Chain A
Amino acid sequence: MEDLSKLLSRPQLYYNIDGVGELGIGLMVLSYSLLGWMMLHSPETAVWHKMYALFIFIGVISCIIHIGSKAIKSRITYRRTGYVEYLKRKHWATMALASCVAALTSAGLFIAARQHFALFTPAFLFFLLFAVLYIRIIRTYRWKWAVFAAMVVSTVLIAFLPAGLLENLAGHSSLGSALTARTLGASWLTWTAFGVLFLVSGAISFWLYLRHTQPAPRESE
């Protein structure tokens, strides 16, 4: 019965067989990190603080990731290990869940910033939870546990960095005064470290995939 459940989860794991899933997440996380840096270190009147700029930036990055992933899948993955079309209702359910979580997190952050809550420990726990969710999804690949360990170690190390250093990272934005500059600096640095780790992990997966698979012969089946 357990084997049957494992078999049922294989198509979901297949999405990241070539590391494209992680490359996409890594790129998205690093682009948010870049956006965060620009928001923290640019004057209040800069374009980075405008809502429309935020939407354009996210839209462009999402398009790049979507088109890039599709290109890799159709030119490399589908030719080597086959094509899969996922269940549409599951896809929409995941998107709806992700949107709800994002909306709740944003609302929580907004309220916490207004009330000047101390968010250092919750932020630290959030990143640890993020690392646990990551390994839960791709636990079948043993070497990915090293990525998980690197995520946990970097989260802990960053949390113990001198407060002055973290505050400098947060710049002098109004966000910094609302959320405390130390929390903001630590969150930005951890987020960036996660982005780099996802990219490295995705690149290694992609390289391993190319090494261990060959394009199928043309007369296929």
Chain B
Amino acid sequence: MNEQIRAFSELDRVIHEPGRLMIAALLYAVEKADFLYLQHETEMNKGTLSSHITRLEEAGYVEVEKTYRGKVPQTLLRLTKTGRKTFERYRSNLKKAL
């Protein structure tokens, strides 16, 4: 198996899904962001976004914090250390594969 194909096979399946890749990339560039921001940037509906976030949270890549901004509920999200490392590895593998 050549290196390019091996790089493809090593791509993280959880992050590789386009919706989750968008979320991971947006969160990678910030300390944290809220649900509304991700919804605005990804243009996904609440249900789809929520299911992708749950999948990332189950994988241990994203940390979810439920809080309040004044009286309005706010969901803050951040990439965990594992999430950051996985995303960096994903990027370098993708670079090798392309």
Binding site for B on A (CB under 8 A): 1, 4, 7-12, 14, 78-79, 81-88, 216, 218-221
Contact of B36 among A8, A9, A11, A221 (CB under 8 A): A221
Q: Which A residues touch B46, using CB under 8 A?
A: 221
Expressed in whole angstroms, the Cα–Cα distance for A4 and B25 within the complex equals: 7
Cβ < 8 Å to A, chain B residues 13-57: 21-22, 25-26, 28-41, 46, 50
Other A-B contacts than A84-B32, A86-B30, 14 sampled, CB-CB below 8 A, are: A4-B94, A7-B22, A7-B25, A8-B25, A10-B29, A11-B26, A11-B30, A11-B33, A82-B37, A83-B74, A84-B37, A220-B35, A220-B72, A221-B73
- Counting CB contacts under 8 A, is B75 at the interface? yes
List the 5 shortest-distance A-B pairs measured between CB atoms, nearest first.
A82-B37, A82-B36, A221-B35, A7-B25, A85-B31
- Counting CB contacts under 8 A, is B1 at the interface? no
Q: Which B residues touch A81, using CB under 8 A?
A: 36-37, 40
Chain A residue nearest to B66 in the complex (CB): A221
Expressed in whole angstroms, the Cα–Cα distance for A86 and B33 within the complex equals: 9
Taking a contact as CB atoms under 8 Å apart, the answer to whether A4 and B91 are in contact is yes
Taking a contact as CB atoms under 8 Å apart, the answer to whether B40 and A82 are in contact is yes
Expressed in whole angstroms, the Cα–Cα distance for A12 and B26 within the complex equals: 10
Taking a contact as CB atoms under 8 Å apart, the answer to whether A78 and B69 are in contact is yes
Taking a contact as CB atoms under 8 Å apart, the answer to whether A1 and B98 are in contact is yes
Expressed in whole angstroms, the Cα–Cα distance for A219 and B74 within the complex equals: 9
- Counting CB contacts under 8 A, is B85 at the interface? no
Contact of B34 among A11, A82, A87, A219 (CB under 8 A): A82
